[in-house]
Amino acid sequence: MMANITELSDKTFNDETGKGLVITDFNADWCPPCKMMNPILEKLSSSDQLGDKIKFTSMNVDQNPETPNNFGIQGIPTFIIKKDGNVVGRMVGYQPEEKFRMELEKFM
């Protein structure tokens, strides 16, 4: 997994995403758009502008089916944005870096 992104499981999801501003990338190893998002997520999670203000997390939907099912995830990648435990945003599919950054900045 990428250095600045916390890998989640069904067991750790609630504890890791319950406080502050958190984005979770729901993905799978076989998903090309998921792989295309990896460098964007790594760059943004490492940036001074976002990395210190947003916790970046990731969950493999094949290894952890319960949480994606609870959130009605039907397509991947899906990005869920939570603020203090409440879902405040959702994006589905590949997102260009600038669009993705602008969407995240709305919640800061």
Residues acting as catalytic residues: 31, 34
What is the enclosing helix (H) or strand (E) of 6? Answer: strand 5-7
DSSP labels, 49-93: TTTTTSEEEEEETTT--HHHHHTT--SSSEEEEEETTEEEEEEES
Are 24 and 31 a contacting pair, CB within 8 Å? Answer: no
